[in-house]
Each structure stands twice: as C-alpha cells, then as structure tokens.
Amino acid sequence: MHSAVQPPSPEELSSALLAHGSGEVAAGDLRAIQCEEVGHAPGAFDCRWEQRMRGDWRLHTTWLAQVGESWTVLDAPLPVPDFDRGRLKALERDVLP
C-alpha cells in the first residue's frame, strides 16, 4: 500500500539534488513536489516534481529517502516523457489506401 508523505520543500529537494551530484537546481525552479512511500522498499519514496528547464516546466521523477531531517536522492532523477508533445497525428481518412 502506498501512502503519501509530506514532500520535501523546493529548498530541500534542491539541496538533495546537489548533494547527489545531479547538478545545481535553484529552489525557484522546482514546484509541485509529490512523494509516495514505496511499499516494497521501506523508507524509500517515489517522488515527482516539475522543474523549469529553458523556460518550460518539465516533470521529473526519482526515489528519495528521508534521513533524519534531510532528504537523500537514491537514484538519478529522470525527466518524464511528455507524450502529448510530438504525438503522431492520425492520418486523414482520404489518405489511407
């Protein structure tokens, strides 16, 4: 069973990303942070957030752990594909053989 947890603040996530070696991301470039506990990995949380990149907000995901008062990145963060961008458009009926 997955349960929600108070997610890290943008500042805490920014610090965790930097400590992990995932680069420096300003807290102001992070928003909509959500985490759920991973049932098969006690103490691990599956987290998603939006991160501003080149002016656009992109969804990212990774696993985090809360260690004491701070958060630790457990796996390299990954951008979540935006399947609406570049989606193939249906062919027009009169184009089909």
Residue 20 has pLDDT above 90, yes or no: yes
- What mean pLDDT is predicted for residues 24-46? 92
Domains of the chain: 10-95 (3.10.450)
Per-residue model confidence as pLDDT tens digits over 42-90: 889 999 999 998 889 999 999 999 888 899 999 999 998 876 555 555 5
Determine how β-strand 30-37 pairs with β-strand 44-53: antiparallel
Give the torsion sign (CA, 5, 10, 15, 18): positive
How sure is the predictor about 92, in pLDDT bands with cuts at 50, 70 and 90? Answer: low
- What mean pLDDT is predicted for residues 27-39? 94
**Per-residue H/E/C for 50-88:** EEEECCEEEEEEEEEEEECCEEEECCCCEECCCCCCCCC
pLDDT of residue 29: 97
